[in-house]
Structure 1
Amino acid sequence: MTTPYSQANVVDLTHTITEDMPVYPGTDAPIIEQGTTVAKEGFAEKKLTFFSHVGTHMDAPAHIFEDKKTLDALPVSTFTGPACVIDVSGQAHITLDFLKLHEDRIGHCDFVIFSSGHEKHWGTEAYFSPFPTLDEEAAKWISTQNLKGLGIDAISFDTMDVTTLFIHEILLGNGLVLIENLKNLDQIKDPIFTFVALPLKIVESDGSPIRAIAILP
């Protein structure tokens, strides 16, 4: 019996949730407790306590706006589609001129994912150091490109020194979903691939941890 996908062409883009993982400043770290065990109760379960925006996760428009949609209100088709990875390593800011270099590929995608190389700092203080972010002009333009969402291998779409999540406001305000803390983007060599990022179906969810994968041609 054959299957449509082999292990070789499915790439895991998701960080493991652990108690010592990096979290956005001001967010409590996850707590993972052993609730029951096979030895004692005959079955194993864990008790999980964590914020909705830890690890590899998705932001809903409701993350910033009270009157915008939550993840559970979006159709499931929102969470998968053709995607491309754009290498932004070495860029201080992602500008409109830079995005225009990739306009043709962007036009064939539902998701654009920015690979900054910042994943290499995961688990260290350097993960909170500067990483490439969209400038205002680029954020406004990419919000008009008929996309479902954007992804990045860093902790935020805004810089860490902001007091207002201005770039989030532009992107989420235009109905995009945002995926942060991706990994293994350097394993994707194909110009376009299938991206799957499924959030937990939590009532009125402003965000959720996800299992993100790339299905390569």
Structure 2
Amino acid sequence: MCVPGCQETVARRLSRRGLLKGLAGVTAGTAAFTAFPPPRAARAAPASFDRAVDLTHALMEDFPTFFGKPQLEMERTAEFSKDGFNMFTWHLAEHTGTHLDAPLHFSADGASADELALDQLVVPLVVVDVKQQAADDADYQVSVEDLKAFEAANGALPEGGCVAMNSGWGAYVAEKKFRNADADGAMHFPGFSKEACLYMMEKGVVGIAVDTLSLDPGASKGFDVHYTWLPSGRWGIECLANLDEVPTTGATIVVGAPKIRGATGGPSRVLALV
């Protein structure tokens, strides 16, 4: 189950007609993405690396989902013993597993997954560790103070880069705690705050990523982060894996986004070059 009413809210807001009507009511988000220019192209990636870290969870039919119902079905359409080859037909919701949120996901006419420029998908990566805060508070939101503390210790957030939240939640992907739904169906897991998004937009960050099911904290009812970040022409990644294997700074993220025309996102193979 999802937060009561959230599925209807998302369905209404994600329809183009609903968005055109609804965006007038999302004044804070509108002001946010009109106040900042589109993100610039990222700095060039390093010419060499020592290893690649797979930030992608293996996707299977029972992978946990935001709405609590399976979003992948694999229908066998050929079998080697009978047909001489194997093949499946996939029945798949775009936002399943480790996946991309394109600007179109939460905007009326933003860029679709296939329209994202390559120089925005291979960019510098920094990892903000909030595992202790998340252990103390499942509803924790990465704050502006967290980002400023990160910068004081590690230097400025990378213009044209990606900021990933490491809450430790990736370790729970096979457990009920990954959704962490209470008796009323409300989920409790960490995410970014809207204020942190505005700060990163000022810094020229192009992508944000989380090891949870949503860029917003699980208890969010208004999807403020989605409505602030994505309409500005930026992208997000949800359900990252293995962030503990990536250094705080110095890595490059490679987002293997689906090149499906008109897609609002989709399962992606995401790597960190270290």
User: What TM-score do you get using the length of structure 2 for normalisation?
Assistant: 0.72
In 2, distance between residues paired with 1:108 and 1:85? 14
Paired residue for 2:163? 112
Gaps of 5+ in 1: none
Contact 1:99 1:138 in 2 (8 A): yes
Q: Which residue of 1 aligns with 2:144?
A: 96
Q: Is the 8 A contact 1:112 1:151 kept in 2?
A: yes
Q: Which residue identity is paired with 1:73?
A: E
SS at match of 1:120: helix
User: What RMSD in Å do the two structures reach over aligned CA positions?
Assistant: 1.7
SS at match of 1:162: coil
- % of aligned pairs identical? 28
Q: Which whole-Å CA distance do the structure 1 matches of 2:56 and 2:99 have between them?
A: 9
Distance 1:196 1:131, change over 3 A: same
TM-score, length basis structure 1:
0.90
2:208 maps to what in 1?
A: 150
What letter is aligned with 1:46? F
User: Which residue number in structure 2 is paired with residue 124 of structure 1?
Assistant: 175
1:72 Cα deviation after fit: 1.0
Find the aligned partners of 2:110 and 2:159 in 1 and give their Cα distance.
26
Matched, 1:194 2:252: yes
Aligned-partner Cα distance in 2 for 1:84–1:162: 25
Alignment check: 8 A CA contact 1:88 1:132 kept: no
Which blocks of at least 5 consecutive residues in structure 2 are unaligned? 1-47, 134-139, 181-187
Give the counterpart of 1:67 among 109, 129, 140.
109
Between 1:88-97 and 1:60-69, the stretch displaced more is 88-97
Instruction: State the Cα distance separating 1:132 from its structure 2 match.
Output: 2.5
Aligned residues: 211
Equivalent-residue separation in structure 1 for 2:222 and 2:69 (angstroms): 16
Q: 223, 229, 233: which one pairs with 1:165? A: 223
Residues 1:21 and 2:63 are matched in the alignment:
yes
| Structure 2 contact 56–98 (Cα < 8 Å) conserved | yes
Aligned counterpart for 1:84 among listed residues 120, 126, 132: 126
